[in-house]
Chain A
């Protein structure tokens, strides 16, 4: 584990100059925080992905740069996301996972975002971070984990608009329940439906990219 993370550090170090080349490029990102890429996944009971999607900026019409995850780091997304599942499973059984000091005090609130309603224990808020990427999570009543990696500016903290992200999760949760109502769908199976996919993307556009 230690080796892996030091390798990742290495990759990041190598990649830094490419950011520095395009100053205009970096400025665009800082001014407009809504163009960040996101990687979203629904994780099933056996830690298997039920659905995955990558949301990149929709603002590429005027010849602007199409901002996504870097091609060579993109494949790490699934690993980063699964690494946060332990934290999610711990928070799953806390009475108020969004409170700064949980009753059990088992995992301190230092990583967590603050402005979330405390009675709600479906949306967990920001659970983890990894080199400037923020990870948020949501748990459905049936124990499905909705997890998302929010990409950020290369040298800054990723800001998360909790209300928008929470609304996004709730809408996807409803779509998931609708999938479940299909008697031919079995729990824990991947969701290959194009109708589901197109609706999730429409929601991402509505809530995450504005």
Chain B
């Protein structure tokens, strides 16, 4: 962050240009009447739809990428614990994003998806045509495709919130949020729900998610260190939903399933206290 003086007053409008975004050292910007009809700044991030399109990554490509991640972290870390912490950090950011994304997608009424996929297909095909124009010509094609996207947004086609009547309720109980991880999140990541969700009988803050054949680490023979990537995803998800916890991976072979992995989730004490206080024992 550049060295900027924090201005004591938010009332002086003349000190910044109105085209800039939010600047936290200055404070809220007042909307001015002459910019009311200005077209929104074009941006791919904000005009693309959040709707789920079926896109699967090939397992071999993912395994190759994962292998490179492991190698990089392995070179950089000094101990096994250091390695696990770093790999956990890689997954953590994914988890924090999934909690918002998957919940929002689950709020969309089920009958919406059909119309939107056809819509999306036509949209993407037109964009690709534009882009091919741009590559052959002067490059104006990409700009026009961007304005196409904003146009769709203004029509409400790309905005999911407009079709949502009721947002999916936030998960407040430990069991509810674990069900979501076990079902929805696992299906989004690995194509199937996890194989089991167990509550520890010894300690009441421990829960376990069981995967018989972990998707990412199935080609890595011994030790469960590499599963800390998935641990990070789970931890990021639960932490940002305000269920702070620690997650670890343990090998627990059963019969023929010698890759069977248990993700042990240990919630912080105050999560249980809150659960008891709000919803009774």
Residues of A within 8 A of B (CB): 39-41, 45, 49, 51-56, 58-61, 66, 68, 71, 74-75, 77-78, 92-95, 104, 117, 119-123, 139-143, 167, 170-171, 173-183, 186-187, 190-199, 201-202, 204-205
Assess whether A93 is in contact with B50, with CB atoms less than 8 Å apart.
Answer: no
Residues of B near any A CB (own CB < 8 A): 9-11, 19-24, 27-31, 33, 35-36, 38, 40-43, 45-46, 48, 50, 93, 96-97, 99-101, 103-104, 159-162, 164, 166-167, 169-170, 172, 240-242, 274, 278-279
* A199 lies within 8 A of B11 (CB): no
* A75 B9 Cβ-Cβ under 8 A: yes
Residues on B with C-beta less than 8 A from A61 are 33
Question: Hey, which chain B residues are within 8 Å of A68, CB to CB?
Answer: 30
Q: Chain B: which residue is nearest A52 at the CB level?
A: B28
Q: By DSSP majority rule, is chain A's interface helix, strand, loop, or mixed?
A: mixed
Cβ A195 vs Cβ B33 within 8 A: no
Least distance between A27 CB and chain B CB atoms (Å): 21
What 18 additional pairs, Cβ within 8 angstroms, besides A181-B45, A191-B22, A192-B21?
A53-B31, A54-B29, A120-B167, A121-B172, A123-B167, A141-B170, A142-B99, A142-B100, A143-B241, A171-B162, A174-B159, A177-B100, A186-B93, A193-B21, A196-B22, A197-B21, A201-B31, A202-B40
Closest CB in chain A relative to B268 CB, distance in Å:
15
A198 smallest CB distance to B (angstroms): 4
Q: Cβ of A120 and Cβ of B21 under 8 Å apart?
A: no
- Asked whether, in the complex, the Cβ of A178 is within 8 Å of the Cβ of B45, the reply is yes
Given A180-B100, A197-B22, is A119 in contact with B45 using a C-beta cutoff of 8 Å? Answer: no
